[in-house]
Structure 1
Amino acid sequence: MSLPDGVSRHDFDGTTSIATRGHPEYGERTDGEWRRWDPHRSKLGAMLELGMETGLTADQTTLYLGAAAGTTVSHVADFGGPTYAVEFAPRPTRDLLDVAERRSNLFPLLKDARKPETYAHVVEPVDVLVQDVATRGQGRVATLNRQFLADDGYLLAAIKARSEDVTADPEDVFDEVLADIDAAYDVVATERLTPYHDDHLGVVARPER
């Protein structure tokens, strides 16, 4: 498995896991300056643990959609460059602000990922677009935010089947969302995120040329 600089496999009391260096934020195990990147709490962490080639690199500029309280985006900011974190709900955004106080490169935005025009004046072109939004129209969210992604960048999306349709077969939902993503991207890899997250699909895509 290829890991970006700044992410390493580390031993935590006999358990080996991916980890970053930074301030702990969600009760994760720590060892000195290392903090475990818990794949059960992070879809992107699950993608890395499962060996998906994400294209992540150190010091990249990132737009993170669906940052919630900052669990995953805190790890991204640990090894990345400027990191813009979009979250719609005010309550988790308050926790996200606390996370950002400890990371000068993390910029929280209380915005709706379905309305990128509301933050287009703030976000610079990015190297990677990470998406973890619990909403209908996840494929459309990815295509709407394509405008921020460099032509040689990566979309890393965690598609949640139950957010689209709680009654449909997850595989059918994934096919529909991927069809929407195909409008603006070339999908290069997909993988179910079990055993870490049920009914989720990890997606790696590149901007369509």
Structure 2
Amino acid sequence: MSESIKSVKETKMENVFECEYEDGTTRLCTKNLAPGYSVYGERLIKYNGIEYREWNAFRSKLAGAILKGLKENPVKKGVKVLYLGAASGTTPSHVSDIVEKEGKVYGVEFSPRVVRELILVAQRRPNLFPILADARFPQSYMPLIENVDVLYVDIAQPDQTDIAIYNAKIFLKEGGSLLLAIKARSIDVTKNPEEIFKEEASKLERNNFDVKQVINLDPYDKDHAMVLARFKG
């Protein structure tokens, strides 16, 4: 698709780029760690000899958060990430691109069927490690994972914030970052989502987190927010 590309520019986020097409539209993109292969049907872009993957914000909450004004992306080159709710690998594959071969992405997913798809993605990504496990029981995967710089949590559970806190206490380094995708409708369908976002952020504050930002992900994900927090240990 290089003939339709006007430019690829760096953003303020490390290893996150903006691809501008000839028609003037722009999209986020990441350098493809597995050239020639897409993960979820995303467009592959070649520019100045480098292949990029278009990053669809309607398919990835992290991309949505970046477009909605995330102040800092703790996912950077060389960091270690524990990703709870890795699913079939859409966002984990972009995280894999960003951290490059020097980094590691431990992808925990509960569904055996979905993990099979994640394994196929990981076969071409030496820094992505699929783990079939329940995030509510981190002891089951404790032997497989070292302490990490970033904990990314995207799980549809009523106690999703408690699960994030529990895993952080075991795996997240002091001063490490949490990216928590809050799914309001999984917590309480009767409450205003904004109220839920505030309550869950307060819960983090009570558990040694410094909440840096709460981003409503609409229109990319309705009734969802991304929380960026720093773990004080």
TM-score (normalizing by structure 1): 0.94
Structure-1 residue corresponding to 2:213: 189
Q: Does 1:166 align with 2:189?
A: yes
Query: Partners of 1:180 and 1:40 in 2: how far apart?
Result: 28
Equivalent pairs, count: 208
* Alpha-carbon RMSD: 1.4
Q: Which runs of 5+ in 2 are unaligned?
A: 1-10
Structure-2 residue corresponding to 1:205: 229
Query: Partners of 1:98 and 1:144 in 2: how far apart?
Result: 29
Query: Partners of 2:134 and 2:204 in 1: how far apart?
Result: 19
Query: Partners of 1:153 and 1:203 in 2: how far apart?
Result: 14
Q: Retained in 2: the 8 A contact 1:142–1:181?
A: no
Structure-1 residue corresponding to 2:133: 111
Cα 1:13–1:120 change in 2 (3 A) is: farther
Among residues 27, 33, 41, which one is paired with 1:27 in the alignment? 41
Q: 1:184 Cα shift?
A: 3.1
Q: Which runs of 5+ in 1 are unaligned?
A: none
Cα 1:36–1:10 change in 2 (3 A) is: same
Residue 92 of structure 1 aligns to which amino acid in structure 2? V
Query: 3-state SS of the aligned residue for 2:139?
Result: helix
Q: 1:13 Cα shift?
A: 5.6
Q: Does 1:175 align with 2:184?
A: no
TM-score (normalizing by structure 2): 0.85
Structure-2 residue corresponding to 1:55: 74
Query: Partners of 1:141 and 1:184 in 2: how far apart?
Result: 14
Residue 29 of structure 1 aligns to which amino acid in structure 2? R
Among residues 89, 96, 102, which one is paired with 1:77 in the alignment? 96
Among residues 89, 99, 124, which one is paired with 1:102 in the alignment? 124
Q: 1:11 Cα shift?
A: 2.5
Q: 1:172 Cα shift?
A: 2.3
Among residues 43, 49, 58, which one is paired with 2:61 in the alignment? 43
Structure-2 residue corresponding to 1:2: 12
Residue 185 of structure 1 aligns to which amino acid in structure 2? F
Segments of 4+ moved more than 6 angstroms: none
Deviations 1:125-184 (A, max 9, x none): 111111111111111011111121111211011100011112222122222222322213
